[in-house]
Structure 1
Amino acid sequence: MNSETLKYNEQQEPRHKAVCDLLAQEIDRCLPEAENKIWHTHPVWFLEGNPTVGYSKQKPGIRLMFWSGADFEEPGLDVVGKKFKDASVFYNDVSEINVVDLKRWLEKSKEIQWDYKNITRRKGRLERLK
């Protein structure tokens, strides 16, 4: 895991730090091939240069976001917009995280991907990779 991700987690209040630590640990375990870095000020994991999963501190709590999560067809993930294919869930305490669901979502993040890496080159149009 990237040292900047550890630093990000350390900066959170204790209950949110615990959420971030668990998320980072499970993401690293389930996506060992992913590159982790701070991107747009928060931790993100990339598969072959494509943003796949990340989390950030927001007003409602820690937002876990899957860039292609709208196509996971998972009731636990909220899809907000129609333009992009992201879906997310908010956590305020580590007890809210269902690790079985999280692992399933992470597996789906490898199988279902939209090409965000080239979205600028394609003038905002997304194409399905997998």
Structure 2
Amino acid sequence: MKEEIQTYNDIQTSDDKAICNVLAQTIDNELTEAESKIWHAHPVWFLDGNPIVGYSKQKAGWRLMFWSGADFEEDDLNIKGKKFKDASIFFSTVEQINTKDLERWLNKSRDIQWDYKNIVKRKGQLERLK
């Protein structure tokens, strides 16, 4: 795990840290080619500069967001973005994380991508990459 992401995880409460570590380790194991960093104050993984997946703490719990997840056709990714193609799931305990589901979603994130990297250049318009 990248040091800055481990540092982010380490400053969380012990229960939250457990959630963050499972998410980060699973993402790192599945998206081995991805670049990861703290982006807009949260851990995010990128493929070819395009944001793919990240997590953040919100009132409802830990939000795991896939930037192109609305097209994954996954019932559990049921928090859909209103403007873009993102979809999310929330976790409040580490036991809620189904790593087999997470691994499947991560594999889909590699194959189904919208071009967020160039969204500013395209004045807010998304184009499908894969």
Given the two structures, how large is their TM-score scaled by the length of structure 2?
A: 0.97
Q: Which residue of 2 aligns with 1:42?
A: 42
1:31 maps onto 2:31 in alignment: yes
Identity of aligned residues (%): 66
Give the 5 Å matches for 1:1-130: 1-130=1-130
Give the letter for the 1:96 counterpart.
Answer: Q
Aligned residues: 130
Contact 1:65–1:87 (8 Å) recurs in 2: yes
SS state at 2:80 partner: coil
Give the letter for the 1:66 counterpart.
Answer: F
User: Cα distance, 1:11 vs. partner?
Assistant: 1.1
In structure 2, C-alpha distance between the alignment counterparts of 1:10 and 1:82, rounded to whole Å: 32
Contact 1:16–1:61 (8 Å) recurs in 2: no
Deviation readout 1:14-36 (Å, 9 max, x if unpaired):
11110000000000000000000
Deviation readout 1:68-112 (Å, 9 max, x if unpaired):
000001000024333200000111111000111000000000000
Extract unaligned runs of 5+ from structure 1: none
Give the letter for the 2:16 counterpart.
Answer: H
In structure 2, C-alpha distance between the alignment counterparts of 1:79 and 1:5, rounded to whole Å: 24
Given the two structures, how large is their TM-score scaled by the length of structure 1?
A: 0.97
Runs of 4+ in structure 1 over 6 Å off: none
Contact 1:44–1:52 (8 Å) recurs in 2: yes
Extract unaligned runs of 5+ from structure 2: none
